[in-house]
Structure 1
Amino acid sequence: MSEFQAQANLRGKVAVITGAGRGIGRAIARACADAGAAVVCSARTIAEVQEKSRMIEAAGGRSAAVAADVCDYPATEALFAAAADQFGGIDIVVANAGVSLESRKVEHSDPLLWKQTVEVNLVGVFNTARAAIPHLRRRGAGKMILIGSGSRHRPNPGMSSYASSELGTWMLTQTLAVELQSANISVNELIPGPVRTAMTGFGEKFAPEGE
């Protein structure tokens, strides 16, 4: 396969990526655009995804930025409707939005932060998948990738909310894969491993666009 073919293997596809304003989501958005896909970048903060969308377009790609909170189902539905309206449909969904808000042991944890972590990491993924499915079905096929974590099977002090939400995402992935197989929609979980991002506390560094 030539370098051009490798870079253009998503030409004609439309990808929607949540949590695309920073970290892993930002990198995935760039990779999809480099491979030829039209990319809809979404996050709660519109400025971050607008910046990424402008970078993709400046490099010759097609992109749009849509603000949406994945914990809000109507807003998530509106995200996919906007993506389909602008680019004619949706082929790829990357459910990447996630947080780690509570790092204390259970007995000292804040119940509200514990709940918010689960809402973003699990309910938010459910909302994303639920809102995307009708659009993928209209295409006759599709790819859904849920970003997970190895923490789902590793009990660590102070990580109960994050690990519990990721374990739920793991089971949701398997259930969706079985439910959508007949519709030719593949569902997979991607576990990137340790990555330097703002959420992991190591900060993040991006290579200049075009490198």
Structure 2
Amino acid sequence: MNANSQHQPLAGKVAVITGAGRGIGRAIACAYAQAGAAVVCNARQEKELQETVALISQAGGTASLFAADVVDHAQMTALFQHAADRHGGVDIVLVNAGTAGESRKLHNSDPARWRETMEVNVIGAYHTVHAAIPHLQARGAGKIILTGSGSRHRPVPGMSAYACSKNALWMMTQVLAVELEEFNISVNELIPGPVKTAMTRFGEQTFPPQEWIKEPADVVPLAMFLATQADRGPTAQSYSLMRRA
């Protein structure tokens, strides 16, 4: 292994990251760029994306931005076409865009907000991978990483929409892994556990006392591990940074 492959294990790769405007997505985007990948940063808010791309550029990395909403399939198709046109293809897809939704018990929930959580977290993930797969197939291999949650197996009052959406995402991960194995495309779930981000209200919710409350940078090593596996590496697996299920 030469020095360049050690310090830039993602050299020559193109990574598309949804939800890259802040938090976990931004931290991983910066890390992938530092590891040599050209990174396409996606979110709805262009201003946040500009900040992420600026951080990458200042560190000497390569990145571009494409503002798009994951609930719009046409926009996601355009996102991956941008990646192919601008950077030559797609090798890694981090399905990270999501919403926690409202925190209300189901009988007091707002049906529109409940549906919105499912649309962003499940339909948005479907749109992302559906648009990405042809580009990954064209490369002959690839990696899809979906950001999951421990909430899918630890019921928390007031989080029904979020928990149901993440359960659906885990099944999507497993089915996709089986469907795409013949194309050398691995599909795995990354569960960050509690992280101090805007979506989690900076980690102020109540968590078990033994739980590890993380910064976004703490998720980077696992995200890097998944991005640097061999083409015929692990698939249909869930990797968690939670201390307990």
Give the TM-score category using the shorter length.
over 0.9
Q: Which amino acid is 2:70 matched to?
A: V
Equivalent residue number for residue 73 of structure 1: 73
Conserved 8 A contact 2:49-2:65: yes
Tell me the CA shift for residue 19 of structure 1.
Answer: 0.2
**Which ranges in structure 1 are unaligned for 5 or more consecutive residues?**
none
Which residue of structure 1 aligns with residue 106 of structure 2?
A: 106
SS at match of 1:76: helix
* Identical residues among aligned pairs (%): 61
Q: Cα deviations across residues 179-209 of structure 1 (Å, max 9, x unaligned)?
A: 00000000000001111111111269778xx
1:57-81: CA deviation from partner (whole Å, max 9, x where unpaired): 1211110010010000000000000
How far the C-alpha of 1:154 sits from its partner, in A, is 1.2
Q: Say whether residues 1:18 and 2:10 are aligned partners.
A: no
Which SS does the other structure have where 1:154 is aligned?
Answer: coil
1:155 Cα deviation after fit: 1.2
Three-state SS of the structure 1 residue aligned to 2:89 is: coil
Residue 133 of structure 1 aligns to which amino acid in structure 2? I
Aligned-residue CA RMSD (Å): 1.7
Deviation at 1:174, TM superposition (A): 0.1
Structure 1 SS opposite 2:41: strand
Secondary structure at the aligned position of 1:195 is classed as coil
Structure 2: runs of 5 or more not aligned? 204-213, 218-245
Shift of 1:100: 1.1
| Count of residues in Structure 1 that have an aligned counterpart in Structure 2 | 207
Structure 2 matches for 1:189-208, cutoff 5 A?
189-202=189-202
SS of structure 1 residue aligned to 2:202: coil
Q: Does 1:33 align with 2:46?
A: no
User: Residue 49 in 1 paired to residue 49 in 2?
Assistant: yes
Paired residue for 1:121? 121
Partner of residue 141, structure 1: 141
- Residues 97, 121 of structure 2: 8 Å contact kept: yes
Question: 1:163 deviation in Å?
Answer: 0.1
Cα distance, 1:5 vs. partner? 3.8
The CA deviation string for residues 144-182 of structure 1, in whole angstroms up to 9 with x for no partner, is: 000000100111110000000000000000000000000
Supply the AA of the counterpart residue of 2:29.
A
Counterparts of 2:215 and 2:24 in 1: how far apart (Å)? 11
* CA positional deviation for 1:2: 8.1
Structure 2 SS opposite 1:71: coil
Partners of 2:83 and 2:73 in 1: CA distance: 15
Give the whole-Å Cα distance in 1 for the aligned partners of 2:60 and 2:163: 39
CA distance in 2, matches of 1:23, 1:2: 32
Deviation at 1:7, TM superposition (A): 2.8
Give the Cα–Cα distance (whole angstroms) in 2 for the partners of residues 54 and 22 of structure 1: 12
Q: State whether residues 5 and 11 of structure 2, in contact with CA within 8 Å, keep that contact through their aligned partners in structure 1.
A: no
Which residue of structure 1 lines up, in the alignment, with residue 222 of structure 2? none
Partner Cα distance (2:2, 2:114) in 1: 48
